[in-house]
Amino acid sequence: MAISRRNFLKVSAGSAAAIGVNLFDNPTLRSAFADAIKETPIIWLAAGACSGCSVSLLNSLSPRIQDVLLDQVIPGHHTEMAWHPTIMAASGDLAMEHMYKVEEKPFILVVEGSVGRAENGTYMEVGERNGHGIPITEHVERLGKKAIAVLAVGSCAAYGGINKANMNPSDSVGVGEFFKEKNISTPLINLPGCAVHPDWFVSTVAAILLGGLEAVKVDELGRPLMHYKKLIHDNCPLRGHFDAGRFAEKFSDEFCLYKLGCKGPVTHSNCAEKRFNSGTNWCIENRHPCIGCTEPEFPYEGSMHDKVQLQQVTPPAAYPPISTEHKQGVDFTPTYGALAGLAVGAAGMNMLKKGDNGDQGDLDEKE
């Protein structure tokens, strides 16, 4: 059976490790192993974004951001953050030349932020050409067609997010909607969140490197099921209060936050399991309602604290309802009508009996 050079080096490394031999003391072998590692460059393109998702990535705990940038995310695979406007050292023409060089080989495109289409995309520009800014729409279209896969990181990139809300002066849309307009068929994975959890990004990239795009199972909105299958409501620490009909009326109350605008019953993500800031905390444990940032409706029309319609969960019927209507109208159903009729009839009979008794008394007196 034929064995490739790459597989031979992997087997050799494993055998050497088993007997305690350090092959990397040999410069020739060190170079050979470096060549055997598969390198996948990433172009991280910032569109209409606040850089919050980049900051979240920099807070990655396991693996650390140093490992993501410099080491192997999985054995034999190194993801090179080849272009990132926030963390790269290069700038200006030098940075743009490097982008053009990287895109000539297989790469993963990451888009952070919405795609602004107003005024030919001039609301959002990256780099210059002949003294004029290059619209973000040009970059997303060009790189989107070339990439082996595209990750729309954050709610703005996935659905348009905050930039798309209300009047939307920048005419912002998510990457998926932009791809449909341009007939771009490159596989797209949405990683919504405001901000995205670093684990959602790193583990999705690792899954692609391990098993290809088919290894990432997604829902109808293109979100990886391994992160966005469950409702926040399913793992909420306040779920018991919801089921018992105990709802907070103000933020200092300790009960379920649904009446204060919590979107947990309609929001899909594993925030309760992952937590943010190196696993320290998340919205609800910080006594703030879930804002539903992984859903296409985010940031929602009207107030963030408006209640959402329950679609898949309701409190058990044995407990008090979420909203209690105190006004009680008169019920004119047949049952109540019959009871009312009986009451009127009984009152009439009593009056007739009293009348009969009074007449009989008068007759007795006359006799």
Residue 59: what pLDDT? 84
197 is catalytic: no
283 is catalytic: yes
Residue 277 contacts residue 59 (beta carbons within 8 Å): yes
233 is catalytic: yes
Where do we find the tokens 């649904």? 258
Residue 8: what pLDDT? 53
Residue among 53, 78, 227, 241 flagged as catalytic: 53
Where do we find the tokens 């019953």? 265
The closest alpha carbon to 265, from 322, 217, 211, belongs to: 322
Q: Which domains does the chain have, with CATH numbers?
A: 21-226 (3.40.50.700), 230-322 (4.10.480.10)
Residue among 78, 233, 241, 268 flagged as catalytic: 233
Q: Which residues of the chain have pLDDT under 50?
A: 9, 11-24, 29-30, 32-33, 318, 324, 326-340, 342, 344, 360, 363-367
53 is catalytic: yes
Which pTM does this prediction carry? 0.76
Residue among 50, 98, 288, 305 flagged as catalytic: 50
Residue among 197, 293, 305, 326 flagged as catalytic: 293
Q: Is 319 left (phi over 0), alpha (psi -120 to 50) or beta?
A: beta
pLDDT, tens digit (0-9, with 9 covering 90-100), for 240-290:
999 999 999 999 999 999 999 999 999 999 999 999 988 899 999 999 999
194 is catalytic: yes
**Residues in CB range of 325: below 8 A, 6 or more apart:** none
132 is catalytic: no
In three-state secondary structure terms, 365 is helix
Burial 260-273 (b: 16+ CB within 10 A, else e): bbbbbbbbbbbbbe
Residue among 194, 197, 241, 268 flagged as catalytic: 194
